[in-house]
Structure 1
Amino acid sequence: MIITDTHTHLYSEAFDTDRKAMIERAISQNVSRFFIPAIDSTYTKAMMALEADFPDHVFLMMGLHPTSVKDNYKEELKHVEDLLAKRHFYAVGEIGIDLYWDTSTLSIQQEAFKCQIELAKQYDLPIVIHCRNAFDEIFEVLEEVADDKLFGIFHCFTGTLEQAHRAISYNMKLGIGGVATFKNGKIDQFLKAIDLKHIVLETDSPYLAPKPYRGKRNESAYITKVLEKLADIYSVSEEKIAEITTANSKDIFGI
C-alpha cells in the first residue's frame, strides 16, 4: 500500500528537532510520497535541503502563499518565476486568497494569484489552492481564468457540497485532511456524495492534526487517521482509499 500526502510542510521549524525521525516514521507506515508546498523565498533553501535528503520521497512545489503577499510581493513573484524557469517543480503552490488574517491585501492577493496561475499554465503545471474565508473571491478568479490548462488541487477543502462541485468543475481535486475527522468538521457529512476520483489525501502538517491528535503538532504519519475516516465514509477498505487517492495524485502531479 502506498499512501500519498499531497500537502505537507516538512521543512517547517516545528520539525527542526526530529525531522528525519518524523519522516522515517511516516515512511514506515506506507506514507512514502510527500508533496511540499512553498510559502515564500525564506523557505526555499530548507525545501531544497529536504529534497536532497529524501530524493525518492519528496516532491517540491513553488509559489507564493497568500499570507506572504506583502509590500514586496513583486520581488517574491520574481523569485517564483526565476525558479520555475531554472528547474522542474511538480506544481505552483500553495497559492490563493486568505482573508482570515488580512483583508486589506485582497487586491494584491488577487493579482499574485492570477499571475501564478498564468505561470502554471505556461509550464503545464497544476496549481494548489489555499482558500481561507475566501471561497467567493477564489471562484471569481477561477471563473475568469478557466480553460483546459487549468487544473490542480483545492487544498484543505472545508466548504459545502455545492462549493465542492464548483471546485471540481474547474478541474480541481479536493484535498481532504484532518478536518474530515473533526466532530464539527461538516465535510464528513457529505463527502460520500463526491466520487473518490475527485479526492486526494493531505495532512497540511504541522497544522490541522486529525483526531485523536487534534490540537497537537500534525505529522505526515497521521494521514493514516484520515485514511481510516474515508474508508469508513465510503465503506471501502483503507487499501482501496490509498490506491485511488494515490492514483489521483499521480494524475495531478505527473509522478
Structure 2
Amino acid sequence: MKRFIDIGANLTDPMFSGIYNGSVKHQKDLENVLERCWKVGMSKIIITGGSLSDSRKAIEISQMDNRLFATVGCHPTRCCEFDELDQSNYFQHMKELIETNRNKVVALGEFGLDYDRVQFCPKEIQQKYFKLQLTLTEEFDLPLFVHCRNAANDLLEILKDFKCSGVVHSFDGTIEEAKNFIDLGYSIGINGCSLKTLDNLNTVADLPIDKILLESDCPYCEIRPTHAGYQFISKENILPSVKKEKWNPGCLVKSRNEPCNILHVLDVLASVKKIDSFKLCEQIFENTNKLFFKSYLVNAIVQISRPTIPFYSHSKDCYMYNGRRQEDIAISEFVSGYILLEGEQKYFQ
C-alpha cells in the first residue's frame, strides 16, 4: 500500500462538524473522515492552524490520535486579529501554545502573504505580522508552513532575511517562482488548487521530485471535473459521495474535500511527471518526514538488545546509536509507530 502524509488539512473547519455556512446539515463526522484516510494509506496528518483560536482547536483535535499533528500561526487574511486582540498578548499566547504542545506542533504557520484577498487584511498589516511571526524561529526550531497568493516576490524578499526551511503550500505559481523558493531551501506543497490549469500542470511537471510534498487542504481544493488535472485521476480512487443533505457515514460529502482524496493529487502528479506512482509516493513520503518529523528525537540511549525505543519527543536533544550522535545518522523514514535507522526497525512502546 502507498504511504501518505497530508501536510495541510483544515480539520478545524465547521464542515467536519456538519455545519455549512452556519447551517447544520448532518452530524459531526470527523472520525468517519479520518477512518477513510487511514484505510487508503495515510500515515500522518498535519492539521493547519490559521489563527490563535484555530491553532488551539487544531492541537485539540490532534490529541484524538497519535498520527495527528498541528501547526501554530496566523493566516495573512486574519492578521488584523493581532491589533484587534492586542498584539503583544496575541503573540505571547502563540508562543505559549507552541511551548506547551511540543509533542504535537510540527510547524509554524499557516502564515505568509495573500495579495488576492487584501479586502480582509491590507498588505502592510500582512507583512508586519508575517515578519513578527517569523521571529518565532529564533526560539523554536520548526519548519515553516507558508501561504502565498500573488505575492511571490515580496514573500521571497522577506524570507531571505530568515535562515529557515519549510514548505510553500498550495502552490499555484510559475516554475520560476517555485525554483526561487527551492533555491532558498523550501519545498513545494501540491494540492488540487495546484492542478487546475494546463499551466499548473506544466509547472508541476518540471518540479524536482525531492522537493514536492502532498496536501489535501481539505475541505477545500478538491480536483473538480472542470480542472485540467481531473482527467488523470484513476477511477478506482474516486470514492462514493452524496449531497450533504443525504449524508451517509460511509460516503464522502459532495464538494467537501477530504484527506483520502490525496490519492487524486498523486494520480495527477505521477501522470504529468510520467513517474511510477509508487516510486513517486515513496519519494514524497521521505521528503515529508525529513522536513517535519526528523526532529522527533529519542531522549534516551537505544538499547540494541531491546526491540523497542522507549520514548520520543520534539526536542533539540540528541540520542546515541552505536556510539554515534543521532544527527549524524540518516533517517530513512519515520512513520507512525516505527523508525528505521540504518536498516534496523525499532518499534515504539
Counterparts of residues 209-228 of structure 1 (less than 5 Å): 209-212=222-225, 216-228=255-267
1:72 to 79, 84, 103: 84
Q: RMSD of aligned C-alpha atoms? A: 1.9
Deviations 1:50-108 (A, max 9, x none): 112112x1111111111111133614322212212323121101110112222652222
Unaligned runs of 5+ in 2: 18-27, 228-253, 295-349
Determine if the alignment matches structure 1 residue 26 to structure 2 residue 37. Answer: yes
Separation (CA, whole Å) in 1 of partners of 2:259 and 2:225:
14
Please report the TM-score for the alignment, with normalisation by the length of structure 2: 0.67
Q: Which residue number corresponds to residue 171 of structure 1?
A: 185
Q: Which residue number corresponds to residue 39 of structure 1?
A: 50
Number of residue equivalences: 250
Deviation larger for 244-253 or 211-220: 211-220
Separation (CA, whole Å) in 2 of partners of 1:213 and 1:117:
37
Identity of matched residues, %:
27
4+ runs deviating over 6 angstroms: none
Deviations 1:177-215 (A, max 9, x none): 113442x25221132322100100011111110134978
2:62 to 28, 47, 51: 51
Counterpart code for 2:157: E
Separation (CA, whole Å) in 2 of partners of 1:203 and 1:185:
20
2:110 to 94, 104, 120: 94
Determine if the alignment matches structure 1 residue 206 to structure 2 residue 240. Answer: no
Separation (CA, whole Å) in 1 of partners of 2:209 and 2:284:
7
Determine if the alignment matches structure 1 residue 134 to structure 2 residue 151. Answer: yes
Q: Which residue number corresponds to residue 130 of structure 2?
A: 113
Unaligned runs of 5+ in 1: none
Deviation larger for 22-31 or 203-212: 203-212
- Tell me which protein shows more helix as a share of its residues: 1
The structure that has the greater radius of gyration is 2
Please report the TM-score for the alignment, with normalisation by the length of structure 1: 0.91
Q: Secondary structure at the match of 2:63?
A: helix
Q: Which residue number corresponds to residue 293 of structure 2?
A: 254
The alpha-carbon deviation at position 45 of structure 1 amounts to 4.0
Separation (CA, whole Å) in 2 of partners of 1:36 and 1:177:
15
- Tell me which protein shows more strand as a share of its residues: 2
The alpha-carbon deviation at position 33 of structure 1 amounts to 1.1
Separation (CA, whole Å) in 1 of partners of 2:10 and 2:270:
25
